[in-house]
Structures are given as structure tokens and as C-alpha cells.
Structure 1
Amino acid sequence: MPRLDEIQIRDPFVLADPRSGRHLLFGSTDPNIWRGPATGFDVYTSTDLQDWSGPHPAFRPPSDFWSTTQYWAPEVHEHRGRWHLFATFGHDDPAVRRGTQILVADEPTGPYVPHSDGPVTPRDWECLDGTLHVDGDGAPWMVFCHEWVQIRDGAVCAVRLAEDLTRAVGEPIELFTASQAPWAEEIRPAGHEPGFVTDGPFLHRTADGTLLMLWASFRGGRYAQGVAVSTSGSVEGPWRHEPEPLYTADGGHGMIVRALDGRLLLTLHAPNRTPEERAVFIELEEIPGGLRVR
């Protein structure tokens, strides 16, 4: 039974499951997530967020699955009585764009099978990190990143989804770009043109009705976790960026979970180095119009 600090994981996503009395941990867990054949997605389970059972297979690609590599950032959401896994998938052929596909299962632990017909992100866009948001009218949206490697100034976008989550409805709208945040800084990695990164959007509505978005970029050469606020209360924004990141210690791709013990936890990976990355839990509290670390 591994402890949390023994599990190599990026993009951690935790689901609190009161029916089973367990927390479910998903994430990017291939030893080298950047290249080579991908395995699939696993799930770990825990009652105390420290000692975990697993890994247990949650998704293994069928033999005719279109994606071969870069299985990233799985998120699990309940919708209409079934469980939907949103995840990034890549391909060895650079002409096949990376994107978010939606999988489905009858139980949160899986097994998951393809639900959408390939990615629901635009097929000619390099995309990643799709997340589900259901608006005040009950309409499902996917918020995702249009990758900086294609457009230089990475963007966070939103697109309406069909009620059954099988496809996008209409055209994506751009919510903001990374350079609009006062804290985000340009990176200059070897082999790439310089650019501004957007990673890991996740939406959270506070008890006072404020709609927040977690998202990650870089500051001072290190991964950092930022927060944006919808000034309209709608996913369509406009979005105002908090001037300082929530977390700056080389960690990010965060999400928020209400643990079974009632604590509100920021979940992210740190440090941002393979194979050292681990899931980190940080207790939060809601304040008027936002969040702060306890």
C-alpha cells in the first residue's frame, strides 16, 4: 500500500466518493509521460489521503484506439448518472493533433471506454487539459487550453458540449491568454520558440457564488498555480486575474476537492520535474470573492 509521497504522478485529480467512503486519485502516471507508448490511466483509493491502494486499471486503450502516446490529465465527473473521464491524448504522428477526448463508465473507478468520437477539441488545434463545467442553466461546457506550442501565447478556451457529452456544440470561445495575467512569464525552452504557457484549468464556485478558475503557468522559471475570477459569474467571463499566484514553489495543474473530512483542499503536483513529481494537498479556505491558503 503506497504512501502519497511514493506515487509518481502529474496532474493529480481527486474525487471524494461518500458512497464508498474513499477518495479516488487519478493522474498522469506513465514513468515518462512525454514520449513512448502510453499505458492508460490508473486509479488509487484511500480513506485518509495518505495511504493508498493501487494502482488499479481505470482505462486501457482498445487495440484500434487512435492515440498512442501522451495520456495526460484525467478528470472524472458525474453527469446524468454516469461517470465521464476527460483526458488529453497524443499521437506519434505530428500531423495528428493532441486533444481532449471523453470516456465513460458506470462506476467512478471504471473501466472507462471511449464516449466521444475522438477528441472534442478542434482537430486542427493543439489542445490539452479539458475540464467539465456545468453552468447555472444546467448546460455542460468544456474548458480547455489551446497550446502555446502552436500559438505562442497559450489560451484558455470554452466550448459548449452536447447534453450527452459526446461532442462539441458550436465554436470555441477564447476566455483569456496567459500573457494577460500579470504574474505569468514567458518561457524559452530548448527546441521551442519562446511562449506563454496555459495549463490545467479547473473551475470552482464558492459559497458566495463567485466563479473561480485555477490554471497554471510559469513565474521565475518555475511552475506556478494561478487563479482567475469571472466578473460576470459566467464561464464566458470576462476573467480578472489575481495579481499573485496561489502557489509558487514549482507546482501546479491544480484542482479543488472537498475531502470526506470536510476540508477544502488544493491538489497539485510538485515539483515540476520527472520523475520527482508527487501529489500535494494544501488546505484552503474561501474568502469573499476568492480563496486563500490556510
Structure 2
Amino acid sequence: MTEDKTKVYTDQQIKQVLYKLYDLINRQIESSEYGDYATFLNWGYVSGDTPSHSVVQLPKIYLNKSSTQLILELVGDTPMDNRHVLDVGCGRGGALSCIDTFFNAKSLTGIDLNSENISFCKKKFKNISFQEGNAESLPFQDHTSDIVMNIESSSNYLNIGSFFLEVSRVLKPDGVFLYTDIFNLQDLDDYFPFLKKAGFKLEVNRDITSNVLIARDEASAGFVMGMDGFKGIDKLSVEECCKMIDLYSAHKGTRSYKLLQSGQFVYRMFRFRKVGNPAENIHLRISNHSKNRVSNFCSELLGQEIMEKMID
């Protein structure tokens, strides 16, 4: 789909779509008998022929293995012990639980805009701090985190520049920003110069698209979409709701899977280090594509027909 054929939605419409999408995902998870074990929402990582960057080796059989491996690959050789770790867009708490299991961080804090995610996390993980909040206006003091993580969340942020500046603000000097997501390459052309001006130095830049696709292949092989408990939402039928979850999960053959497979989208993993303060009067250079980044992403992922049905 080319940019000039993609309908542009308003920020308010995008917020509606994202709220309903994540509400649907949570309802599906909670209705499952495995809901209490569904602590990850990421697409996973399988090494294949690629050397692992993780300092932790998981056993052959491990619950939520590919999703756990994605977190361990993101951490890589970053020192985590005795660090204050913040996960922005923490979802259902899986990433912080992984850090808690394999490392000895001084503190672990998760923040998410979805109240249901935070409620689940508080019940599930008693030794980790969770709170509801906005990634573009973090409710934390300056220079309070040693490490900030962001995993498959930033593609939903309407003002990505504000998020990057917030990460810089809450990080201590020499702090680390561990960042992984699905990207359009045009967006990355805007992000790199901005992050440099925001005081960050790029240390790790990995294209893990092929590893994520293998993880999606494995997940698809054992995936069964249950419709029990579904009544549809708004104008969407039960079948369309299931299709949305399938798209979000990027199972083999879906539009989201094909976007990665074709190279139209890439899955990248970064480690940035805070080496200075943001430049004065810093502005994120907005290309014609990036100006409508979230609208384009949602349209490409879900398709315009479903988008229209989700908007009041």
C-alpha cells in the first residue's frame, strides 16, 4: 500500500482504535485458561543460524521461550545488577519478570497506559512496582533510572519525539536505553538524528526481522483461535475480532507477517547510551511519511475496512 492511497486518521480516531484493540486482546487473554501465564505480548525471537547476544542460556523447554529470548537478546551484555530499571509500555509484565528472574536489579518499575494491564501486573508480580501512565509524559523525577526499556510499544505513540526526550530526562548520565520495535525504514531516518541531538549514542543496532519471523512461524504452528466468550465489539463481528487478534499477533500469512517478510517493515533492536543532554530547541524532523506514522502503521496492520468499523 503506497502512502498516497492510505487514509490519514486523526489522533483521536487512532486513540479509539488502539484502545479497542488492546481491550480486545486483554479480553481474549483473560478468557483463556492460560490467561494467568500470558505475561508477554511481544512477537518473540528465535536464533536460527544467528549467534545469540544473550548472556543467559535458556533450557530447551521453557515457558514463553521465544518472548523471553527477545528480552534477553535486547539486554545482551548490558549490566543489569544493582540498576534501577524502568519498562515503558510494560504490557502484562513479562519483560520485567524476566529481568527479575535472571538478574539482580536494584529496582524494577513498569508503566503502561492500559489500566487492565497494570491491574493484572500488580496482582501477578508482587515484588515489582507498576503504575498507569503516559510514555510521552513519564511520571518520574529527572535522572532516576539507570536503564529504560521499550519493547514493541513505541509504534503506538503519537508524539515519538516527546517519548525520546522523556527517556533522556529520566535516565541518569551514562544510562542505557534498550529499544526494540517494528519500524518503517523511513521513520528510522528521522529518529537517528533526533536521538543523537537528544544526547544519545548508538551502541547496538541489530536487524532481527528474520529471527522474529521464525518465532512467528513457530507460534502459528501451535495457534488455535478460540471464539468462546466473544460477542464482537461495536460494528465488528466475532470473526473480525478474531482476525484482528491474528493480525496483531503476526501469525504466518497475515498482513502483518507479510509486511515484515516483504521488507516493508523491519524489526530492529537498539542500545543507546545517554552521553549528554538534549540540544536546545530540539525538534524531530518530520517527513511526510512520519507525520502520519501511527495512522499509517495502524492502517497497514489492520486494513482500512476494520479501521473504519472501529471508529465511532
TM-score range, shorter chain: under 0.3
Higher alpha-carbon Rg: 2
Higher relative contact order (CA 8 A, sep 6+): 2
- Point out the structure with the larger strand share: 1
